[in-house]
Structure 1
Amino acid sequence: MKIRSSFHALPRDDERPSSDAVSLTSWNSSFLAALADGAGTAPAAREAAEHAVSLVATHFRSHPLSWTPGKALRETVRLINRTLWNESNARFGRPEMVCTLAIALYDEGFLTHLGIGDSRVYLLRGGELTQLTKDDIDPENPLCLTRAIGAEEELNPTTYKLSLEPGDILFLCSDGIHHHLSDDELKQSLLAETSARHIAKQARDASSDETRDDCAAIRIEIESLGWSERREDHQLPIPEKLASGQKHDGWTLLRSFGANDRCWLAEREGCRQVMKFAPLEAVDQPPITHAFLKETWNAVRFSSDPPFVKAWENPVRTSLYYIMEFVDAPGLANLLKQRRLQVDEAVQLGGFLVDACIRLLRHDLVHGDIKPENILIGSAYDSVFFKLIDLGSCCEVFSHHSRAGTASYLAPERFKNAPINECTEIFSIGVTLYESLTGQLPFGEIERFQTPVFRDPKPPSSHNALIPPWLDAVILRACSILPENRYSHFSELLFDLSNPQKVRPWHRDSAPLIERNPVLFWKCAAIFFAIVAAALAVQLATHQ
């Protein structure tokens, strides 16, 4: 996920430290924000606030794996409350280490929030500011808290859960801010992308000498949501045997797709869809379950993009699977067994693959396994369309640990553990186009365990005379053995596919000069013959 954040604890005056404390920690695609306001101005109150925010992240991250985020957060707050209560009584004989606490936790795909005292958590969504927490104050005496951390020996906190959306803004603040800035003023400041420090200063400047207080704030803007595993997904059963006629949540399995007996055409009430079940190995191998859940998330979040098949999760599923739309179109690999693609179809395929890769790259992802088996080709009136499938191989760009890909389509540097990037994906696109036009692989069949020796392939036009020279050059440059001779970015490949007249000729490094640069060759030849002629003329004149 991507967030933009700022946080600050501003003292009521510059002559003493703030009794408020803030912290923000993040890991993987999760974050935990905590804000505490010490009750009073004594050093013990400041200690309580600092202890509370430092202990939240420490204890939460060490919770038992069987606990949900909400339970882990509640137990963490109970522990902090007992710790402050016991320390206060040991040191002072009474509750002195007392503070409020507001927490916003994003984990396992949901926001869990909690408020103790009068520190608040707000959500700004679509221009509307909502207070998520409730103030624990006495209705008859607004200055008196009914609950606080460390005030009583036992505390029973309540947590609440909701979904976040890209563009949401979370705002945590102490009473020194919301007592002096109205909800409308807060909203306008958040919309104006004002930092937490400046909002705290606005509140302090708006207060009088009598009402001035410490001001603490945390501002978190959700730019994009990352993937986070949900505990309940790991508890879904994985069916061992799948067979025609079986029913799963109302869907009847009709037939499996090729050799993949975990991917089935299913029907319910006359509607046909595709159900993809988790691999059987996931039953006792959590990493495989993890990979399937991430594949599900990728399939669902990219389903609105035209290059990909629509996908969704059944909210009431009783086993681990996800659903995709049924596209009545053959795989490109099956089509190539019958015929090769025409030149205009191959150019369209190249543009389609580049477009799909650019969409993935906007999320810092690459497909990882581009090949005809993962491409559907269908017809619409007098044209064709394509769909890219199998996002299970998707990985972060520049990933070193990814083993995604099929050997015959892997760039040479991938066999030497080079990171996966745009350049390696372009190689796979080039090999796919070569095969689509010629029916042959440019470097032959390669097994994953091999250490292949790559040699410059023959031009595609030597197998298919209909391929124009410009497309020859594009494909050979895309699947060049040396990365430095290959297209570096998808945009470069897309430009050449869209502008045939501007494509530079391609020549292999070992090609003679007459092939690589015939103009320069004949210039050199002309100069050479001119020199020879001049030398002969001088020699002839000398003899006379």
Structure 2
Amino acid sequence: MALVFRTGLSSVTGQRERNEDFASMVTPDHATLKLKGAIFAVADGVSGNAGGREAAEMTVRSLLTDYYATPDTWEIPAALDKVLNAANRWVLSQAMQHREMAGMATTLTLLVMRGQRYYSAHVGDSRLYRLRNGRLECLTTDHVWDRPDMRHVLKRAVGLDQQLSVDYAEGQLQVGDRYVLMTDGIWATLPETRLQQLLQQYAPPQAIADILTRESLQAGGSDNATAIIIEIDAVSENTLTDFLAGSRQLKPPAKLKVGETLDQFEIIEILHQSRASLVYKVRHVQSGQLWALKTLQPLLTNDPQSCSALLNEEWLAKRISSQYLPQVLPLDADTRSHLYYVMSWHEGATLQQRLQHGHHFTTAGITRIGQEMLRGIGALHRMHVLHRDIKPANLHMGKDGRLRILDLGVASSGHISTQEAMPNPGTPSFMAPELFEHAESSVQSDIYAAGVTLYYLLTRKYPYGEIEPFQHPRFGDPVPPTRYRPDIPGWLENIILRAVARNPASRFETAEEMLLALEVGETRPILPMQRTPLIARAGLQQWQWMAVSSLLINLLLLYLLLVS
């Protein structure tokens, strides 16, 4: 079931010389509606200032355009915040460049509907109302001064300040809801009781929008009047599962043999198999192109969690276009007879396989690998994706000399369903210390895993020793990698030790920061990490040590007093 709604929009100039309100909407269909949702926006250019209409129109137009250009992996509030701040900077720049536009600003109220939920963003004194079960509720707060003589003066607006402060909210959609975005030309003229009477009419949204603007003028309103009305006829399922609903009935195939055919693909070789997954090298029957096909072990056919995880991995990988990750071949559910997805195949081997074949990594080689790995991790983080399982087995070096990050099976992009199922997965020896204390995965935990990866490739050891599954380790100070490889330069050791620091705050803040440290290398080396003082390593605070020392001294003095 998809999200179904009806809309209406009306905007009138009234007694003003020009209409400084602007309203618009984007109501896509099919995959875009399921993935990004529909968006509605109303803006009111600040009256009395030149450029009010321009500020309102350009803010709404840029918002509706730029929102759909944000990465699909971004959560809606993050995407809105990014485009709203860009719009705010644009309005400010126009006011600075054109003297006649000085002071241009606009209110903004917007609504995004996707799946079963709505998301709102609001700044200024336009409003968002919801009529549900006969009850009208205002979902926004006016950003005006709380004085009777200044209630028309905005405290917040797009273009008013360098730092834009926006109110974000979200909630559940219900069938029968009516959402109304309106400027103050309507709500300041019509009492709320009258608004509720008009919105409860059994009429199409467009007819009600027209009635709102017309009646606000008839009631003596002198301002522009604008309203958007959305009525919910049906809500869809959860966004991710709704997007992949067509794949739910698919089950993993039986284990395939070389020469067999699955749909359009001929099995050439088994590339990898684990307790959960199988990866085949396949050839497309018609084009002859080689691909890698990933599916689940047949034993997991009736395991909904594993099946959902593979669907989530495909969904996520489809939306990340980067040279540092394999690219997914888009396949519709109706072209597949079983549960699997197909990605680009690259000749080469994982770094773990190269270690197992006796490859010796030089410090220069590790520096290059580190740079490529961090560029890939940075690309993921910019898309708001945490990999959560960086390790040599998930890093592939192709014959083309390019490093690629594999396996997004446990990656997180903020989708609650995935995080609840796998709160902190990963390989224990590469997991950051805070994850063992049930902290959430973060950018710093990915950076930690990257640091352990470089450490392991150089030394075949782990900075805190090997950690077995279900073990709850205690972390002291990491063993310097030069203990195992004296040829490692000091600047590289300092970078690795900072990445694997026990305290997340002591690590690099971003993948780009660690990348820069590797790029500048010995020309601008970072400072070495300070070893943890004995007091901190013992887990005692300084005052406790002082108390113990004081007690011992007092006992000694008492003994000397007694024997003398």
TM tier relative to shorter chain: 0.5 to 0.7
Task: Note the C-alpha offset of 1:446.
Answer: 1.4
Is the Cα–Cα contact under 8 Å of residues 377 and 386 in structure 1 kept in the other structure? yes
Partner of 2:280: 264
Is the Cα–Cα contact under 8 Å of residues 361 and 457 in structure 2 kept in the other structure? yes
Distance 2:394 2:453 in 1: 11
Partner of 1:312: 329
Aligned pair in 2 of structure 1 residues 417, 48: CA closer, same or farther (>3 Å)?
Answer: closer
User: Does residue 425 of structure 2 align to residue 322 of structure 1?
Assistant: no
Aligned pair in 2 of structure 1 residues 226, 202: CA closer, same or farther (>3 Å)?
Answer: farther
User: Does residue 306 of structure 2 align to residue 274 of structure 1?
Assistant: no
Distance 1:351 1:47 in 2: 54
SS of the aligned residue for 1:256 comes to: strand
Distance 2:505 2:132 in 1: 58
* Gapped regions of structure 2 (runs ≥ 5): 1-34, 43-109, 120-130, 137-171, 178-199, 232-237, 535-564
**Aligned residue among 336, 339, 343 for 2:363:** 343
**Aligned residue among 507, 519, 524 for 1:502:** 524
**Aligned residue among 444, 454, 457 for 1:436:** 457
Task: Note the C-alpha offset of 1:247.
Answer: 1.2
Aligned pair in 2 of structure 1 residues 460, 32: CA closer, same or farther (>3 Å)?
Answer: closer
**Aligned residue among 292, 296, 314 for 1:296:** 314
Partner of 1:465: 486
Distance 1:243 1:216 in 2: 58
SS of the aligned residue for 1:277 comes to: strand
* Cα displacement string for residues 439-475 of structure 1 (whole angstroms, at most 9, x for unaligned residues): 3222332112111233323322332233211001000
Partner of 1:391: 408
Distance 2:342 2:388 in 1: 22
Distance 2:273 2:424 in 1: 21
SS of the aligned residue for 2:294 comes to: strand
User: Does residue 342 of structure 2 align to residue 239 of structure 1?
Assistant: no
Task: Note the C-alpha offset of 1:407.
Answer: 0.5
User: Does residue 386 of structure 2 align to residue 370 of structure 1?
Assistant: no
Partner of 1:406: 427
Q: With the length of structure 2 as denominator, give the TM-score of the two structures.
A: 0.54
Task: Note the C-alpha offset of 1:362.
Answer: 2.4
Aligned pair in 2 of structure 1 residues 394, 32: CA closer, same or farther (>3 Å)?
Answer: same
Distance 1:417 1:463 in 2: 31
User: Does residue 513 of structure 2 align to residue 492 of structure 1?
Assistant: yes
Partner of 2:206: 174
* Cα displacement string for residues 481-530 of structure 1 (whole angstroms, at most 9, x for unaligned residues): 23232223223212211222322231442479xxxxxxxxxxxxxxxxxx
* Cα displacement string for residues 351-374 of structure 1 (whole angstroms, at most 9, x for unaligned residues): 222222222222322000000000
Partner of 2:353: 334
Task: Note the C-alpha offset of 1:424.
Answer: 1.1
User: Does residue 268 of structure 2 align to residue 254 of structure 1?
Assistant: yes
Aligned letter for 1:265? K
SS of the aligned residue for 2:293 comes to: strand
Aligned pair in 2 of structure 1 residues 231, 206: CA closer, same or farther (>3 Å)?
Answer: farther
Is the Cα–Cα contact under 8 Å of residues 249 and 318 in structure 1 kept in the other structure? yes
Distance 2:132 2:502 in 1: 62
Is the Cα–Cα contact under 8 Å of residues 331 and 376 in structure 1 kept in the other structure? yes
Aligned pair in 2 of structure 1 residues 206, 489: CA closer, same or farther (>3 Å)?
Answer: farther
* Gapped regions of structure 1 (runs ≥ 5): 9-22, 34-45, 62-96, 101-118, 120-172, 181-199, 220-224, 513-544
Task: Note the C-alpha offset of 1:60.
Answer: 8.7
Partner of 1:79: none
Aligned letter for 1:509? R
Task: Note the C-alpha offset of 1:336.
Answer: 1.7
Partner of 1:106: none
Partner of 2:235: none
Aligned pair in 2 of structure 1 residues 32, 485: CA closer, same or farther (>3 Å)?
Answer: closer
Distance 1:306 1:471 in 2: 26
SS of the aligned residue for 2:365 comes to: helix
Is the Cα–Cα contact under 8 Å of residues 407 and 446 in structure 1 kept in the other structure? yes
Is the Cα–Cα contact under 8 Å of residues 299 and 391 in structure 1 kept in the other structure? yes
SS of the aligned residue for 1:364 comes to: coil
* Cα displacement string for residues 238-273 of structure 1 (whole angstroms, at most 9, x for unaligned residues): 223322222111312122123336211112343221
SS of the aligned residue for 1:393 comes to: coil
Partner of 2:544: none
SS of the aligned residue for 1:289 comes to: helix
Aligned letter for 1:217? I
Counting aligned pairs with the same residue, the percent is 24
Distance 2:500 2:133 in 1: 62
User: Does residue 448 of structure 2 align to residue 427 of structure 1?
Assistant: yes
Higher relative strand content: 1
Paired residues for 1:113-124 under 5 Å: 119=204
Is the Cα–Cα contact under 8 Å of residues 448 and 501 in structure 2 kept in the other structure? yes
Flag the structure with larger Rg: 1
Distance 1:176 1:265 in 2: 59
**Equivalences, count:** 351
Q: With the length of structure 1 as denominator, give the TM-score of the two structures.
A: 0.55
Is the Cα–Cα contact under 8 Å of residues 7 and 218 in structure 1 kept in the other structure? no
